[in-house]
Chain A
Amino acid sequence: MRHTGILFFPAFDWSLGESHPEREERLLYTQEQLFEEGILDLPRIKQFSPRIASIHEGLRAQALFPTPQFHLEALDAHLIAAGSAILLGEARVRGDIANGFVLARPPGHHSGATVWGNRGFCTLNNEAILVNHLRAHFGIKKIAIVDTDVHHGDGTQDIFYHDPNVLFISLHQDGRTLYPGSGFVNEKGGPNAWGQTLNIPLPPGTGDEGYHYVLENWVLPRLQVFAPDLIINSAGQDNHFTDPLASMNLTAGGYGRITELLQPDLAVLEGGYSIEGALPYVNLAILLALAGEDYYHVREPQKLDRSVLTLSSIKPYIEGLKNQHQTINPHWTIQNKYFFPKGDWIYIPHSVYYDTEGFQEIRHDYIRQCSYCGGTVYIESSRSSFPGKSILVRIPFMACSECEQAGYELWDHLQHQREDADYGLLQNQLHDKQDLWQRKEGLR
């Protein structure tokens, strides 16, 4: 029998604040519901215990600015959530389980390639850390991440935007009506990974039927073309009709069906703040769907009393989006700085607002255009009202020799000639190595 793995880590002693939506109570009722149902007694279910990720595992996907030490004390819970994703991912890749559900707090999908603090309740990106761990250790090449949280998975998008081997698909409530305000169809991926990001912003009130329609008619065909080795579902529960922050009107049964359609290898919990009305039921439905069990009896006590868009009104909207998506063309700005190694470097400015702590990150991203690999990435980042600049140099997985060379030249330049930078991280994904550099102390 092939098992469905569950890693339940509710972090009952961690929260962002007593009245914050991301608080200790969040998975309390899910625990009651799952334990009371006897879900751990289902012969197909296998429970795993959490483990803590190392900083090294985190840095493989994300740069912690200004230094990792700056964050360390606040990271315990985040590192456990990321480590839990890794643990269950390994179990899946080894074949110990057929699929699995990482039901852990805190969530991660708003946390991007560079991290100055907590945003959208996220500090570390659980899925991204998992994906890069599996690629580094198990030689997995192609991974698809389907983000079904009601919010755009902007952090995950940011991390894999230039990665041709990761297909990132996000279905979410239209960014014009909801945090974080991004995730439009024109965000299709960087110059070397054009089309490997697919955003499907949906109108408020889409409902079960609308979601299933989009999955069947857009998401699943796209997945089939990509043919990934592994599908990861960023499973946010905030599309539920009782969610206080969003208005997508999905039911628990609707979530069960999404899981059944997607057939993810791993589902990783993201948001969802209807702590009583949705989470226990949605999580149960997802877990049952993963285990191939009947989820039709999972019914939330509250009745859906919001208005749901009809399929006939959603279809033309989706057709419009599809057209927009197909017709959009890339246009890149080339900006080669004097110290850049040879090649064309695409410049993409980027700024990120950290809502939890209320500050702005200003970023200048440069990507080496490459027809052989994902291209070396160079990011300069600074934080409002914070002195100094931090730099990320990323040599991608399966980098070509020119891009690897370019990465090391940038790294060398940073250490010896840059006066304005205080801190740097070299992510050499090709050889699974990371180097930290700090002006005061030099290379560490």
Chain B
Amino acid sequence: MPNQVGIDVGGTYTDAVFIQNGKIQNTAKVPTRAENLVETLLDAFDALKITNVPSINNVTVSTTLVTNAILQDRISPVSLLLFSGNGMSIDALPWPLSYLELSGEIDFRGREIEPPDLREWEKLQTSDFSENLVHVAIVGKFSHRNCLHEEQLAAYLRNLYPSIHVALGHEWGQANFFRRSMTTYLNLGVSDMYTNFSEQLQTALSARKIHAPVSILKADGGTLPLAKIRPIDSIYSGPAASVLAGLAQSDPKDSSIIIDIGGTTTDLGLVLSGNPLLSTKGAQIGPFSTLVRSLSVRSIPVGGDSVIRATDQGFFLESYRLGPAYCLGGNVPTPTDAMRYLGLIDYGNERLAEEGLASILPTERRTPKYLRELATAIIDRVVDRIADAVDSLKHEWEEEPAYKVWEVLHPHETKAFYTVVSGGGARGLITALGKRLNNPVQLGLFSEVSNALGAAMARPTFDCTLHLDTYMKYYRVAETGEQGKWTGSLRPHREVENFINTLAQKQAKQYEVAIYDLEKEPFDFFPIVQDYRTVGQIVRGAVHLRPGVIGRVHV
């Protein structure tokens, strides 16, 4: 295994790790400077004190740049133009943004039902389009089956405004007009900022003589080269990194629950027989529903620094943080104080921990017996919250929809789960967690930098999903939105396998991904019948390079 550097930019700290042949050589932690991510990344890199920089084969970065920009509403203004067609009135859906509906309709097979109305386009010139407008996202219902109207309008606008930035919905070639619209909108809205970041980063790395390829971690736990990634795909790479870190430390066949306990939040993920669980729906970010493929992860607002508030009945575990634990100089008691008091961790001031906990109790009960009871109860409460989230994630996995008889007859079996726990709050909770989850719990290696470790160990993901309609003589690729003519037979069999392989090779080259161990999804063949005669087929199939790690790490 080569020399890897992983860097994870978190909200408070940025972590880094240097791995040489599967062994962790060095780790680092520097404060995150939100206003200057490039500098932060370089600080983290420098802190690794790598002597032989040219020997680095790969740098993988997990960044909160796009996530934060979206959540803090710092994205460029984008005009969203929709060919919404007939069907459900689209205002039934909870749109968190404004849009303009245009006429023009395509159906589910990609047939044009109604052409666009050019008079509406002419009106666009005078009213909605001003000099300073540069970003336009155009999305049509069923454009993933036929991008005709999107392309027509884009050509029309580019002709009038040569400097315009246009993004088309069909490039996210999956069904769901609502999500496709938002994904196209968000990706365009963050693209300038991302390009800027990418350029600055490349300049800075060159200055440090780092010539290794730089990859960015995606929400699905895979990596892509800095210049190839679609910015929106980089959201939620933090939780994805912690799942990968867990994966890199467990047996390749194991099923595990991965828990990363931070100060404010705890992230959870599931690994099933070595494969991280992917979410069936796209990622949700703030008010936006997207088509971004992501690992199925949960974030719950519980951590070592969560505030404990006294109530009439005892105490309440709040879902926010007000600075560090009492035993580390903070002003309010936290689960960390409970852990310190019980001797489960060895950092922090023991006397302060006791003082913090005592503040919850009525004066007459501030005795060791009651303090112990309180501390234990606090830990149980934290563990309960985490375990509930684990149960809900497992339930979601078991409740995944099935669309084939085979899937119902071969349900997900209940597996024995191992639990890998990492993060600042992990050490003091493992015993209680193991008891509550009723399965073995293991403390992750270098748990304080586990996300950086996950980033370093990540490998590319790749998917190529084909939808072929031999009667309409069209094929589409879901991941890239590529649409083209089919010249093969009406009822293809073997030739469709070669076809998807060629498509996959081409796509992999474009993304600069080396494809190996591709997993094939069996093809579905739907006969299309007219007047009792089969006139064609709809064929669906896919190849995948699933999320995973390049190997296992050891100390």
Q: List residues of chain A with CB under 8 Å of any chain B CB.
A: 8-14, 18-19, 23-25, 28-29, 31-33, 35-43, 47-52, 76-77, 80, 276, 280, 284, 288, 293-299, 301
Contacts and interface: CB of A to CB of B under 8 A. Distances in A.
Given A19-B532, A19-B534, A38-B176, A298 B86 contact: yes
B534 A41 contact: no
Contacts of A276: 109
A12 B404 contact: yes
B405 A29 contact: no
A293 to B, nearest CB: 5
Interface residues of B, number: 43
A11 B406 CA distance: 9
B534 A42 contact: no
B64 to A, nearest CB: 25
Interface in B175-221: 175-179
B401 A301 contact: no
A31 B88 CA distance: 14
B402 A25 contact: no
Contacts of B340: none
Interface string B530-541: 001110001000
B186 to A, nearest CB: 15
Contacts of B527: 18-19, 23-25
B289 interface: yes
Contact of A297 (B87, B108, B176, B401): B87
A212 B534 CA distance: 37
Contacts, number: 127
B92 A293 contact: yes
B409 interface: yes
A382 to B, nearest CB: 31
Interface of B: 86-89, 92-94, 105, 107-109, 113, 141-142, 144-145, 175-179, 281, 289, 399-406, 408-409, 524-529, 532-534, 538
Nearest to A280: B108
11 contacts: A8-B403, A11-B404, A12-B526, A32-B145, A38-B93, A38-B178, A41-B176, A49-B402, A284-B87, A295-B88, A297-B86
A254 to B, nearest CB: 15
A37 B403 contact: no
Given A19-B533, A36-B175, A50-B402, A294 B528 contact: no
A25 B538 contact: yes
A47 B107 CA distance: 24
A76 B404 CA distance: 11
Contacts of A43: 94
B175 A297 contact: no
A231 to B, nearest CB: 24
Given A29-B108, A33-B108, A80-B408, A41 B88 contact: no
- Most-contacted residue by chain B among A12, A37, A50 (CB, 10 A): A37
Given A36-B108, A76-B405, A294-B92, A25 B529 contact: yes
A88 B527 CA distance: 30
Contacts of A11: 403-405
B291 to A, nearest CB: 11
B405 A38 contact: no
Contacts of A294: 88-89, 92
Contact of A18 (B399, B406, B534): B534
A36 B141 contact: yes
A39 B399 contact: no
Contacts of A293: 88-89, 92
A287 B281 CA distance: 20
A35 B176 contact: yes
A38 B177 contact: yes
A8 B407 CA distance: 13
Contacts of B177: 36-38
